[in-house]
A and B are shown apart, each in its own frame.
Chain A
Amino acid sequence: MNKILLIIQREYITRVRKKAFVIMTLLVPALFAAMYAVIAMVAGNKDETMHVINVIDTNQVFKGKLQDQKFIKYQYPAVSLQAAKVNLKSQNDLVLYIPANAGDTVKLFSKKKTTLSLGDNIQRELNDIATGAKLVKAGIDTASLHKIKSNIVVKSSEITDAGEKSTSMGASYALSFAGAILIYMSLFIYGAQVMRGVIEEKTSRIIEVIVSSVKPFQLMLGKIVGVGLVGLTQFTLWIGLSAGISYLVGHNSTNSPVYSFVHNLGSNAGYELGCFLFYWITGFLLYSALFAGVGSAVDSETETQQFMFPITLPLLFTYILSVSYLFMVPDSPLAVWLSIIPLTAPVAMMVRIPFNVPGWQLGLSMVLMIVGFLFTTYVAARIYRVGILMYGKKASYKELAKWFFYKE
Chain B
Amino acid sequence: MLSIRNIVKQYAGHTALNDVSLEVERGQIFGLLGPNGAGKTSLIRIINQITAPDSGEIYFNGEKLNQSHIGRIGYLPEERGLYKKMEIGEQMIYLARLKGLSRDEATRRLKIWFEKLGMQTWWKMKIEELSKGMQQKAQFVATVLHEPDLIILDEPFSGFDPVNAEVIKDEVLELNRKGATILFSTHRMESVEELCDSIALLDRSEKILDGRIKDIKNSYRNDVYLVEYNGKKIDDDASQPFQLIDEIADDDDCYRVRVKLKPGSTSNDVLQYLIPKVHVNMLQEVIPSMNEIFIEKVNKIA
Instruction: Decide if B85 touches A14 in the complex (CB within 8 Å).
Output: yes
Cross-chain contact of A206 among B51, B54, B82, B99 (Cβ < 8 A): B82
Shortest Cβ gap from B198 to chain A (Å): 23
Shortest Cβ gap from B143 to chain A (Å): 8
Shortest Cβ gap from A238 to chain B (Å): 25
User: Cβ of A159 < 8 Å from any Cβ of B?
Assistant: no
Cross-chain contact of A204 among B52, B75, B83 (Cβ < 8 A): B83
Q: Given the complex of chains A and B, what is the CA–CA distance between A215 and B67 in angstroms? A: 9
Instruction: Decide if A208 touches B77 in the complex (CB within 8 Å).
Output: yes
Q: Given the complex of chains A and B, what is the CA–CA distance between A37 and B80 in angstroms? A: 53
| Chain B interface, number of residues (Cβ within 8 angstroms) | 28
Q: Given the complex of chains A and B, what is the CA–CA distance between A200 and B86 in angstroms? A: 12
Give chain B residues whose Cβ lies under 8 Å from the Cβ of A6: 94, 97-98
Q: Given the complex of chains A and B, what is the CA–CA distance between A6 and B101 in angstroms? A: 12
| Chain A interface, number of residues (Cβ within 8 angstroms) | 25
Shortest Cβ gap from B22 to chain A (Å): 19
Give chain A residues whose Cβ lies under 8 Å from the Cβ of B54: 407
Q: Given the complex of chains A and B, what is the CA–CA distance between A391 and B81 in angstroms? A: 14
User: Cβ of A408 < 8 Å from any Cβ of B?
Assistant: yes
Closest-by-CB residue of A relative to B86 is A14
Q: Is the interface of B mostly helix, strand, loop or mixed?
A: loop
Instruction: Decide if A213 touches B80 in the complex (CB within 8 Å).
Output: no
Closest-by-CB residue of A relative to B52 is A408
User: Cβ of A89 < 8 Å from any Cβ of B?
Assistant: no
Take A6-B98, A389-B50 as given contacts and tell me if A206 and B85 are in contact as well, using a CB distance cutoff of 8 Å: no
Give chain B residues whose Cβ lies under 8 Å from the Cβ of A10: 94
Cross-chain contact of A213 among B12, B45, B95, B139 (Cβ < 8 A): B95
Interface string of A364-408 (1 = CB under 8 A from B): 000000000000000000000000010100000000001000111
Closest-by-CB residue of A relative to B139 is A209
Take A205-B77, A389-B51, A407-B54 as given contacts and tell me if A214 and B98 are in contact as well, using a CB distance cutoff of 8 Å: yes
Instruction: Decide if B48 touches A212 in the complex (CB within 8 Å).
Output: yes
User: Cβ of B183 < 8 Å from any Cβ of A?
Assistant: no
213-238 of chain B: CB within 8 A of chain A? none
Q: Given the complex of chains A and B, what is the CA–CA distance between A10 and B99 in angstroms? A: 15
User: Cβ of A211 < 8 Å from any Cβ of B?
Assistant: yes
Closest 4 CB pairs of A and B: A205-B81, A408-B52, A213-B98, A208-B77
Q: List 18 A-B contacts (CB under 8 A).
A: A3-B98, A6-B94, A7-B98, A10-B94, A204-B84, A205-B77, A206-B82, A208-B45, A209-B77, A209-B95, A209-B142, A212-B73, A213-B70, A213-B95, A213-B98, A402-B12, A407-B52, A408-B51
Chain B: residues with CB nearer than 8 A to chain A? 12, 45, 48-52, 54, 67, 70, 73, 75, 77, 79-86, 94-95, 97-99, 139, 142
